[in-house]
Amino acid sequence: MDKIKIKKIYEEKINLLSKYNLFYYDKSKPKVSDQQYDSLKNEILLLEKKYKFLKSKNSPAEAVGHKPSKNFKKFQHRASMLSLSNAFSEEDLKNFEKRILNFLSENKEFKIIYSAEPKIDGISASLTYKNGIFERGLSRGDGKEGEDITANLYTIKDIPKKILDKDFPKDIDIRGEVFIQNSDFESLKEKFANPRNAASGSLRQKNSEDTKKIPLKFIAYTYGFEQGLRQKNQSDYLKKLDEWGFKTNPLNKTISGVKNLIQNYNDIEQQRANLDFDIDGIVYKINNFELQKRLGNVANAPRWAIAHKFSSDKAISKILDIDIQIGRTGALTPVAKIKPINIGGVLVSNATLHNEDEIKRKDIRIGDIVTVERAGDVIPHILSVDLNKRPKKSAKFIFPDKCPSCGSKTEKEFNKITKKFDAVRRCSSEGFKCEKISIEKIKHFISKEALNIDGLGKRVIEKFWNLKLLKKPQDIFKLDFNFIKNLEGWGELSVKNLKNSIEKSRNTSLQRFIYSIGIRHIGIENAKLISDNVKNISTFIEIVKKKKFEKFINIDGIGETQINSLKTFFSEQSNLGILIELEDILNIQSASLIKNGILKNKTFMFTGKLDGISRAEAKSLIENNSGTTVSNISKNLDYLVIGEKPTKRKLEQAKVLKIEIISKNDLLKLLNKIN
């Protein structure tokens, strides 16, 4: 690879890191997980190590944090606030210790004592005290220059405002972490993604009276500039901090030997679930201050300290309860309510248990200490149970044989092909007799692939249900907008937008309508097959009334499973009633009317986010003009429509197969929607 290409790749990574820093430090809204952020940092550092000509002032080897916000006055730190190198394994720690011994010219027998301090996931702050008086508080900023957030820090009760002890240094910057306890975060979780975001957002408010209302805490752990500090090591300094009135981490320890560091690391990780604050690793510091000075710093990190990070996709927690959730098709899904734990920067309080068989196989019980995994965008789930920590009076979890919502019998279907019972247990109720199923069916009815009603999100549906505004899909078209206008969070504009969105949804295709009803095994593709066969809603209703579902057996793609599902769904008379009532309310376009559109026999696939138009709307435009949308690339694909951040793999496949790649505007030109 030539220098120009290498430099381009490097600069792209630097720009991406700068963007992540902006959202993490300045806007308090992280864009990626800690694991992804650390991975990008390491990629940049490895490139710099391999290619010496690469250099940037925004490199993680040079910069710390992010440029201070313009909202606050800026001050230079009297001693830079450095970042820390990361360790992820025992091997990393061995190499860290080896580098220290080499730098100090000591042999393996030289005993290094570490101060091991669990790293609280909060916001760093530096507090300046002169003659015992708290004078100024700065944020980390870019490590060299911070924001003056004194007024906000002054509201934190944990921060002493005046220290009278005679041995307190004449001039010193006390450094630590501002955070919010998990128990206090409960009242804030509707506004913030996790406690760290809440702490960051609260500290950076312009009005300190607003900050005062937030239960912020402060734990001290180091110092910056100092004049008159008498302590000779970190552990003695931490003890003194306690005496001076500062809070310190109760889990701090002095340890010698990498094996003992690992043992302590494992012990602390086991305790994470029981802590009332988030920790994302353990910081190891050479305990002796004299050795720290000898070792000094490398670029923007000290040689004498390292952060041993916990796994960013796994954590240990406790199962507080097991809740049974009921889906649109009646499937009973067990969900573990766990003690909230931070995994990769996300506060996790629920973990799926998948189904009854999974609970039995892993013998999962309420009160168990478990390992929870959250990898990428995968829903958090329970990996394993620590049987050694199971309470003696623990009882096996008994899966309900009756629906927790409506009391109907729950059952597992027998699969004739596999000759086994299905893993999923389902409520036997059909239609809208089961409250939980009904709510989920209405959510499905308004979803993007169905009627696509903006403004009616999942939470709105639940709220309207509780207010008895909704009980069946047709109730959406009978909403009392005057009543809604007076509800909290609603007003003239939001009600007007909702009303317009509902009116717009009255015009829909037969395919979308069949899909929107929410019949099990009738997804968007099967709904299209059926709509193409019956042509219009009248024929579909006639087949349903006479129960002549065998008519569909000759449709390629529709089998016995789908037909049995249709029979079961419409065996409930109320479902037919809903179908007939919706026919009167909606303008359901016949499939035959859109058979000869300008996109006839053309296939399309999307990748990336489209600007100014939802993917659901774009699909609808294509289908309403006789085109077809697909989810996989093949040589039969005509167009790949790309938006913002398209998938590289799909682009490469399309180029290899010589498929035409077009933009949203190109698509609209095909449809004659723009000049």
In which band, very low, low, confident or very high, does the pLDDT at 71 lie, cut at 50, 70 and 90? low
For residue 443, which of 518, 528, 350, 332 has the smallest C-alpha distance? 518
For residue 156, which of 176, 178, 127 has the smallest C-alpha distance? 178
Q: What is the pLDDT of residues 605-643, one digit of tens each?
A: 999 988 888 887 788 788 778 888 876 788 889 999 999
Distance between CA atoms of 521 and 329, rounded to whole angstroms? Answer: 9
User: What does the mean pLDDT of the chain come to?
Assistant: 88
Per the document, the length of the chain is 675
| Residue at token pair 């340890």 | 255
The predicted structure's pLDDT at residue 31: 63
**In this model, does residue 28 exceed pLDDT 80?**
no
Query: Which residues are identified as catalytic?
Result: 119
Q: Give the amino acid at 96.
A: F
Per-residue pLDDT, averaged over 247-272, amounts to 94
The predicted structure's pLDDT at residue 667: 92
Q: Please, are residues 425 and 332 in contact by the beta-carbon 8 Å criterion?
A: yes
What is the chain's percent helix, strand, coil content, to nearest 5? 40, 25, 40
Distance between CA atoms of 69 and 71, rounded to whole angstroms? Answer: 5
In which band, very low, low, confident or very high, does the pLDDT at 222 lie, cut at 50, 70 and 90? very high
Q: What is the pLDDT of residues 553-585, one digit of tens each?
A: 877 678 888 999 999 999 988 999 999 999 999
**In this model, does residue 650 exceed pLDDT 80?**
yes
| φ, ψ of residue 464 in degrees (nearest 5) | -65, -35
**Residues of the chain above pLDDT 70, percent:** 93
In which band, very low, low, confident or very high, does the pLDDT at 315 lie, cut at 50, 70 and 90? confident
Per-residue pLDDT, averaged over 142-165, amounts to 92
pTM for the structure as a whole: 0.58
What's the Rg (C-alpha) of the chain?
Answer: 31
In which band, very low, low, confident or very high, does the pLDDT at 64 lie, cut at 50, 70 and 90? low
The residues near 141 (Cβ < 8 Å, ≥ 6 apart) are 25, 65, 66, 67, 68, 74, 77, 81, 147
Per-residue pLDDT, averaged over 342-354, amounts to 84
Burial (CB count within 10 angstroms: exposed 0-12, middle 13-18, buried 19+), residue 23 = middle
Tell me the pairing of strands 603-607 and 381-385.
Answer: unpaired
**In this model, does residue 115 exceed pLDDT 80?**
yes
Q: How far is CA 213 from CA 201, 205, 249, 461, in A?
A: 13, 11, 24, 32
Helix ranges (H only) for 220-314 are 234-243, 258-271, 289-295
Q: Give the amino acid at 604.
A: F
Distance between CA atoms of 631 and 613, rounded to whole angstroms? Answer: 18
The predicted structure's pLDDT at residue 467: 95
**And the tokens for 270?**
């086991």
**Residues of the chain above pLDDT 90, percent:** 56
The predicted structure's pLDDT at residue 67: 52
Q: How far is CA 11 from CA 3, 43, 85, 225, 299, in A?
A: 12, 12, 22, 35, 20
Q: How far is CA 82 from CA 258, 284, 289, in A?
A: 24, 15, 16
Per-residue pLDDT, averaged over 283-307, amounts to 92
The predicted structure's pLDDT at residue 533: 84
**In this model, does residue 225 exceed pLDDT 90?**
yes
**In this model, does residue 174 exceed pLDDT 90?**
yes
Distance between CA atoms of 599 and 612, rounded to whole angstroms? Answer: 21
Tell me the pairing of strands 639-642 and 301-302.
Answer: unpaired
Helix ranges (H only) for 535-572 are 537-546, 560-570
Distance between CA atoms of 300 and 470, rounded to whole angstroms? Answer: 58
**In this model, does residue 234 exceed pLDDT 80?**
yes
Distance between CA atoms of 264 and 268, rounded to whole angstroms? Answer: 6
The predicted structure's pLDDT at residue 675: 44
**In this model, does residue 345 exceed pLDDT 90?**
no
The predicted structure's pLDDT at residue 376: 60
Q: What is the pLDDT of residues 510-521, one digit of tens each?
A: 999 999 999 999
Burial (CB count within 10 angstroms: exposed 0-12, middle 13-18, buried 19+), residue 573 = exposed
Q: Please, are residues 121 and 278 in contact by the beta-carbon 8 Å criterion?
A: yes
Lowest mean pLDDT among 198-207, 299-308, 382-391, 644-653: 198-207
**In this model, does residue 65 exceed pLDDT 70?**
no
- The H or E element containing residue 464 is helix 458-466
Per-residue pLDDT, averaged over 211-231, amounts to 93
Helix ranges (H only) for 22-147 are 34-50, 90-104
In which band, very low, low, confident or very high, does the pLDDT at 244 lie, cut at 50, 70 and 90? very high
For residue 656, which of 630, 634, 632, 624 has the smallest C-alpha distance? 634
In which band, very low, low, confident or very high, does the pLDDT at 323 lie, cut at 50, 70 and 90? very high
Lowest mean pLDDT among 345-359, 385-399, 509-523: 345-359
